[in-house]
Amino acid sequence: MDEFSELKKNTNHMRKLIIKMLNAAGSGHPGGSLSSVEILTALYMRVMKHDPKNPCWEKRDRFVLSKGHVAPVLYAAMAMSGYFPEEELMTLRKLGSRLQGHPHMCKLPGLETSSGSLGQGLSIANGMAIGLKMDKMNNHVYCLMGDGELDEGQVWEAAMTAAHYSLDNVTGVVDVNGLQIDGFTKDVKNLEPLADKWRSFGWHVIEVDGHNINEVVEALVESKNMHNMPTVILCHTIKGKGVSFMENLAGWHGKAPNDEETKKALAELDAAGEVL
């Protein structure tokens, strides 16, 4: 059996949870949540050191969700890891729920930061990484960004900072799905040559198929073993991955599926799961 077969099954289940919770909420962001599934699966179920029973464990790795609007994928990963029951996912965006539309660290144990204002996550991750180095702690910090959020100047200030301080305990992960709320990133503000940009800012760059769980895991492990410089993993993905009528469409950036669309999406995912 493929050593990654269980992780592949987890990605299918995670996509189902995302669809179900967004339908229950009646609002939220499916496109970027679905494109990030393999990334969160690899982190929470294979690579990161963390303990759902002890969220404040001193030796844990840290995860910063810079593109906070894709909170559904983070909540699904946390529930599947054991931080809280999967049934609680259906309270997404409900009044009084711990699962706010954007992560709220004061409500849900296991979140390292509140996020939602784009462009700030890498700066936060850098601060954590510097603090860990000062305390001589061997913990790693992972920061997931969207490609659209790279339009923010603060991201590149943070990129310079990480390289300047040789933060080899920081891994930036970019969900390169090519779309943002206003359309294709190449039309809104062209990012290319993206890999060369990161290299010129002093980062070790790895490019992978963001839906190949094997490649994602291997890249994350490689980044954790890098010395004297930060690493960025450019995960080339498809927005809305796994649901045919959502794939590669900006209109599904922030629209929840209705009951009929949910039924169709889950049927597709059920069929895909049968061949895993």
Q: Give tens-digit pLDDT for 161-183.
A: 999 999 999 999 999 999 999 99
**Structural domains of the chain in order of their starting residue, each with its CATH number:** 5-274 (3.40.50.970)
Query: Tell me, what's the pLDDT at 276?
Result: 77
Q: What SS3 string covers 104-168?
A: CCCCCCCCCCCCCCCCCHHHHHHHHHHHHHHCCCCCCEEEEEECHHHHCHHHHHHHHHHHHCCCC
Which residues, in sequence order, are CB contacts of 117 under 8 Å at separation 6+? Answer: 68
Residue 42's φ and ψ, nearest 5 degrees, are -60, -40
Query: Tell me, what's the pLDDT at 180?
Result: 96
Q: Over 80: is that where the pLDDT of 256 sits?
A: yes
Q: Tell me: the pLDDT tens digits for 98-111?
A: 999 999 999 999 99
Q: Over 90: is that where the pLDDT of 275 sits?
A: no
Which residues, in sequence order, are CB contacts of 1 under 8 Å at separation 6+? Answer: none
Mean pLDDT of 143-164: 98
Name the helix (H) or strand (E) containing 180. Answer: strand 179-180
CA distance 219 to 227: 14
CA distance 54 to 153: 36
Query: pLDDT band at 43, cuts 50/70/90?
Result: very high
Query: Tell me, what's the pLDDT at 2?
Result: 72
Query: Tell me, what's the pLDDT at 152?
Result: 97
Judge whether 131 and 161 are in contact, CB under 8 Å.
no
Name the helix (H) or strand (E) containing 232. Answer: strand 231-236
Query: Tell me, what's the pLDDT at 3?
Result: 77
CA distance 22 to 30: 7
Judge whether 10 and 215 are in contact, CB under 8 Å.
no
Residue 122's φ and ψ, nearest 5 degrees, are -65, -35
